[in-house]
Amino acid sequence: MVLSPVLGKLVSKRVVLASSSPRRQEILTNVGLRFEVVPSWFKETLEKSSFAAPYEYAIETAKQKALEVANRMHVKHLRTPDVVIGADTIVTVDEQILEKPVDKQDAYRMLSRLSGKEHSVFTGVVIIHCSSKDNQLETEITDFYEETKVKFSDLSEELLWEYIHSGEPMDKAGGYGIQALGGMLVEYVHGDFLNVVGFPLNHFCKKLAELYCPPLKHTIQHVKRDSIPSVDTFESLSDGESESSSFKEHKGAKKLDSTGMCPTGVICNSENSSVVRTGSMVPVENQNGVSDSTAKVPSKILDLMDGFRASKALFVASKLKIFDHLKKKSPLKAVDVANEIGTSVCGTERLLDACAALGLLEKTLQGYSNTDSANTYLSSDGEYSLHAYILHSNDHLWPLFTHLESAVKEGSRQNHRAFGKKTEDLFKEYYQNQEVKQRFMAAMHSIAHLTARDVATAFDLSEFKSACDLGGCTGALAHELIQVYPNMKATVFDLPEVIANASVFQPSEQRTAPVTFVSGDFFKDDLPEADLYILSRVLHDWPDEKIHVLLNKVSTVCRPGSALLVAETVLDEQKTHPPTVVLQSLSMTEGKQRSGSEYKQLLEKYGFTNTQIKITGNLLDAVLCFKK
């Protein structure tokens, strides 16, 4: 089983763990999964006696936890998570379910029952794939359980009470934690050790591989490849490895699409869950009419080779405002769209078909229509429109990447080749005229608006009475902060030419105190006073000497107890995930992206301690540190 491919794809998804358990968080973090934590509010009051088997109770509790989070996020955050993971661990002995003890006497009762006996630890796990259609939450649920046998030694009263007084039993199912002091009570473990800790990692990884349709033996058919790769195409995950028959399935994984297609573009058989992958062995007949297998089709490599076509199709469709036209009126035939945007019918039809192949449009006999995602993210007036950033990618980033070879050879920016001029200041070219400045600010605003809620709520910031967003541009994050924390006063500090245009992007309905905008250069000018300073998408842009100047200034004005909130995408420790950010680094020859440990070391150099990192699952993560 190779898990890296599926983790690489999940990194672009909003993955949520519906659990506050630090042990589950640590297990999933260590395997490389990027997720955000949203503890469930579901009250575990299910009637245990109504379940025929203990594992059914654990699965149903896990399901209700995950569903509560999925529904709450869909309604409250106005942005549906892609995947929600729920889990519940119970201990059973003598056919009785033991959960977390309510007090020390309850812990004593539980541990006394386990003394000298073998008991079972069940963890029910639920993986919910979420989508939104017509503002309604749609879910596809996969669940499983794992059982591990644990035997306790005969425990003396002295040992029992010594362990209970340590405080460790109080938040553990069955009243013990096997990974810590509770390990001294255990004589043997048969099965998955991590399942006893709180999460069956091995089974979970197998289930992820199964969900994303790995090739299975003896089920290979010819598959027609589309010329344009699917956005969510996965590579082969397990080299033909199928799930072990020893796994105890409560219910098989449900197919993820009513058409019989998995999200990966793989044909699924709903009767027996057999699958066919574009990356599997392709049979050919030899001279004797016997089917032989050729080498595997390198679907991952083929998708990378063709990836630029998909990007450019999106860029051109956005520049021609195809998604805007289809949002106003649909379905439309290709000839109607062509007439509206002034393009050829044949070229327009090919572009519309390409967008439909990429899952951006829906194509029926009546014509073409936007998907829900296109209405939300691709139309210029969508609630979380990325239209401006897509145009920025087409007009500015695409030309730079056409000179990537020169950038690698020379180790320098390629603006002079891409745009015919060289500039020393990273942002000066964006502010050279009003039109370019407006486009750039709109691009930055679209990302800030999309990420603001997750950054603002990554930590509880209610203790801070004032915040200053350095380089805060249009104030999208500042406005979100005062929505979440009404008692906070927020200031945006940015260059005069930015502040002069910021009013264009202000919310139409101002329900709270307005954000204050102050002009200045954070490298040269005095910074406004605040309890909390914010650097959102700033540090990755600048070389070390500039960062030294900036962080030294912030540290100097911070009082003890003040804090710094950094919003950036945090790389994993190998600095290979998330891939989109690693690729972005190719066009950065002055600044750089950093891992969590690198941010911690950097901030400690300037007197910031107690660094906390929150992987939000959005485009930006959050790092909070305090001035000592």
Catalytic sites, residue numbers:
88
Closest CA to 572 of 16, 15, 21, 35: 35
Closest CA to 324 of 337, 339, 309, 343: 337
Closest CA to 69 of 30, 11, 126, 27: 126
- Quick count: other Cβ atoms within 10 Å of Cβ 27? 20
Cα separation, 212 vs 508, whole angstroms = 43
Residue 22: both structure tokens together: 């630090």
> β-pairing, 283-285 with 516-519?
unpaired
Cα separation, 146 vs 249, whole angstroms = 9
Cα separation, 586 vs 347, whole angstroms = 32
Closest CA to 32 of 60, 8, 57: 8
Place of tokens 């030694």: 153
Cα separation, 216 vs 238, whole angstroms = 9
Closest CA to 371 of 56, 131, 68, 140: 131
Cα separation, 83 vs 198, whole angstroms = 19
Cα separation, 165 vs 185, whole angstroms = 15
Closest CA to 92 of 125, 48, 62, 61: 48
The helix or strand, by DSSP H or E, that contains position 125, with its residue range, turns out to be strand 118-133
Q: At what angle do helices 596-604 and 544-557 cross, to 10 degrees?
A: 60
Closest CA to 398 of 316, 317, 321, 302: 316
Place of tokens 């950093």: 594
- Which conformational region is residue 269 in: left (phi greater than 0), alpha (psi within -120 to 50 degrees), or beta? beta
214, 275 Cβ separation under 8 angstroms: yes
DSSP labels, 583-616? HHGGG-SSS---BHHHHHHHHHTTTEEEEEEE--
Cα(first)–Cα(last) distance of the chain, in Å? 46
37, 98 Cβ separation under 8 angstroms: no
Cα separation, 577 vs 289, whole angstroms = 46
SS3 of 581, please?
helix
> β-pairing, 118-133 with 83-93?
antiparallel
* Residue 189, beta-bridge partner list: 150
Cα separation, 499 vs 181, whole angstroms = 57
> β-pairing, 96-98 with 136-152?
unpaired
